[in-house]
Amino acid sequence: MVCAAKKSGTIVYDPQPIDLEDVELTENMIELREAIAENAHDVWAAARINEGWTVGLVRDDDKKQHPDLIPYADLPDSEKQYDRDMAMNTIKLVRKLGYDFVKHSNKELQRLLINKLRAQEEIYHCKKCGASVFKWQLYCDQCGNKLENNDFCN
């Protein structure tokens, strides 16, 4: 149970997360963890980009710049670890609560679904540097170029 008590006019928060130390992940779940971590990063990055944030060498809230506004694959492992830990703890909690994950072995179905999802988001290229970009991006991840409608090519 989470406890909150007033102390000197402020609320003291006492987080008490569920103990997940006894939950082990199978190889499939570790693969799932990485997929969830990457997607979580992409969701975060898409939200920041839509708010006008751009990639920068250091985080600057006033300029809306953040060094992690790059593809997940390009992040250093130290930065990926936050997303991995959140994904792993979520998977462990789901398991601890009695749920399970089933990976279907239909590789053809998986391939079709992945291709369908990818087709929903057309990939373009930045005219300045040739990097792959999505139409919704405001800036190119590679060169930082602000992307206008005429800055894309298929």
CATH code: domain of residue 69 = 1.10.490.160
141 and 89 in one domain?
no
124 and 136 in one domain?
yes
Residue 138 near residue 146 (C-beta atoms within 8 A): yes
141 and 98 in one domain?
no
148 and 97 in one domain?
no
Residue 41: predicted pLDDT: 94
Domain around 118: 106-154
111 and 88 in one domain?
no
In angstroms, the Cα distances linking 32 to 25, 80, 94, 97, 151 are 10, 14, 13, 18, 35
**Of 144 and 21, the one with more pLDDT:** 21
Domains in the chain, number: 2
Tell me: the pLDDT tens digits for 121-132? 566 777 887 777
Residue 61 near residue 48 (C-beta atoms within 8 A): no
36 and 97 in one domain?
yes
In angstroms, the Cα distances linking 10 to 5, 6, 13, 17, 35 are 8, 5, 10, 22, 39
66 and 111 in one domain?
no
- pLDDT greater than 50 at residue 1: no
Asked which of 99-108, 124-133, 142-151 is least confident by mean pLDDT, the reply is 142-151
Residue 121: predicted pLDDT: 56
The pTM (predicted TM-score) of the whole model is 0.62
The pLDDT-based confidence of 152 (bands split at 50, 70, 90) is low
Tell me: the pLDDT tens digits for 34-88? 889 999 999 999 999 999 999 999 999 999 999 999 998 899 989 999 999 999 9
Of 67, 85, 103, which one is at a domain's C-terminal end? 103
81 and 67 in one domain?
yes
89 and 28 in one domain?
yes
**Of 142 and 154, the one with more pLDDT:** 142
36 and 92 in one domain?
yes
Q: Is residue 7 part of a domain?
A: no
39 and 76 in one domain?
yes
- Percent of the chain at pLDDT above 70? 73
Q: Is residue 10 part of a domain?
A: no
81 and 48 in one domain?
yes
Residue 129: predicted pLDDT: 79
